Structure 1
């Protein structure tokens, strides 16, 4: 890691939190930070596992700048092989995109439920809505007590809804491939929970 024409102040502008990944162990990372006089946080990346992961996702290998949103999703990538000209304008645009049109808010009090914004992309939502419109639908059911006969029943006075059940395993896997990489890390961070089971998805 060297400054290489990068202005540390530009990287940290606009409230961005900067972490610099250095291939190697902590000794190598500390030495490069000191040699470059680098003011930002430096993290060791033994075996280049993290940087190779970003390169695989983006198609752009290090040295590069990877911009993540508050949910740690990749927003933009810029390779540094061609220099840092115009970097300040590019970063400003990326930070606007990373906010998704709203200021970051810290939830102080909440029920024991996890809200994960933008778990699905707009095209995912359009696909799921299309399945509901074009596929077979079942009347929504509710669990009832023994006085009403018990079990799961259709009760129009309690719940009136038509549900599409995602029973096709190929479609189910498509949705899982989108959701699980986004939900599992958030659940782990919030609740330290690892044992996952998934019920049949239904769209209603």
Structure 2
């Protein structure tokens, strides 16, 4: 069974490849990755024949096909398909890559293996759009190709003149998970949310509806926190590492926040790390949970007047140093999952400054540094090594 799910990043790897005189990089285009194990399997052999027959269709769709084998005898496949920039074989003879993808299990004492042939469809950012285990009595290649035909054409390029340095990550949480979080909030009702202000040597938590109108429900259930951590470590942290070259190891807390249309919930322009008690914060996470409301967009006024409104399940990550605001909600309720991320050195700073925070009785005391460890297997993307290069 695959270690990956829809929405996860495909782990990066380096592999020997067929018929390419130079290294090539994955990413920037859609791809089909068929981990088939060995063509000696009759069902695999039939699927490979169908994929090879559809080579021209892959070229028409602009989608690259990669077949991954652990069997050295499969090198003969190079002779069956004319060289194409859209059709490649990858040689995983050590089985290491297949193991990382959760498809190859080695028996006790290294005796025997179990292999689960599976096809992954990846988007331009090497995230899993869909996956298809090889099943009996199912025309595997036709099943995959039918799905490829449903994918929308890539959008036309736009000329971007200016934008805030923010990271938009789609499909982090499923619609069902978003609704679960909303239901938890509704069952609790949340409490009025404040903000931190520096007053002399103390960081004071302030409740001021002229500056911020929002209610928060703090997620305290360890199982739910762990579930969120697992998803974010696979779908958000690799993107932060890739885009900003920063390794997130800790998060401040998770809250489900609600901006109400009845009181035009909002948060005036602010930065998230200007007080001693917040100086440890590196990145803010805003993850929209619903869309049945009006208003409530994010704005980064230092970088123009554009409004940012991720769709449900999508995350927006940005530096806590950026000036930003949550514009008023005019109708309905805007629900959002919020957190702050930071690293090990920042955690030491937070430990030193927590005693300087003054809270009212209505504001819960913060807990210590909470770890969010990225999945060691989910290094973003992969690079394949050509056959010629592998001999050097």
TM-score, structure 2 as length reference: 0.42
Greater RCO structure (CA 8 Å; 6+ sep): 2
Aligned residue-pair number: 193
* Aligned 1:107-126 pairs, distance under 5 A: 110-126=163-179
Which of 55, 63, 67 does residue 121 from structure 2 map onto?
67
Give CA deviations for 1:179-201 in whole Å, capped at 9, x if unaligned: 22111222222223224211100
TM-score, structure 1 as length reference: 0.74
* Aligned 1:92-103 pairs, distance under 5 A: 92-97=146-151, 99=152, 103=155
Structure showing greater Rg:
2
Segments of 5+ residues of structure 1 without an aligned counterpart are none
Segments of 5+ residues of structure 2 without an aligned counterpart are 1-38, 40-44, 105-114, 258-392
For the residues of structure 2 that align with 1:124 and 1:45, how far apart are their CA atoms? 35
Which of 7, 11, 18 does residue 65 from structure 2 map onto?
18
* Aligned 1:26-175 pairs, distance under 5 A: 31-32=75-76, 34-37=78-81, 39=84, 40-52=87-99, 53=101, 55=103, 61-62=116-117, 64-71=118-125, 72-77=127-132, 79=134, 87=142, 90-97=144-151, 99=152, 103=155, 110-135=163-188, 137-146=190-199, 151-175=204-228
Q: Hey, which of these two has a bigger chunk of strand by percent? A: 2
**Structure 1 residue 137, shift from structure 2 partner:** 1.5
Going from structure 1 to structure 2, the CA distance change for 1:33 and 1:203 (only over 3 Å counts) comes to: same
- Secondary structure (helix, strand or coil) at the match of 2:170 reads coil
**Structure 1 residue 73, shift from structure 2 partner:** 1.5
Q: 1:4 matched to which residue of 2? A: 49
**Structure 1 residue 83, shift from structure 2 partner:** 8.0
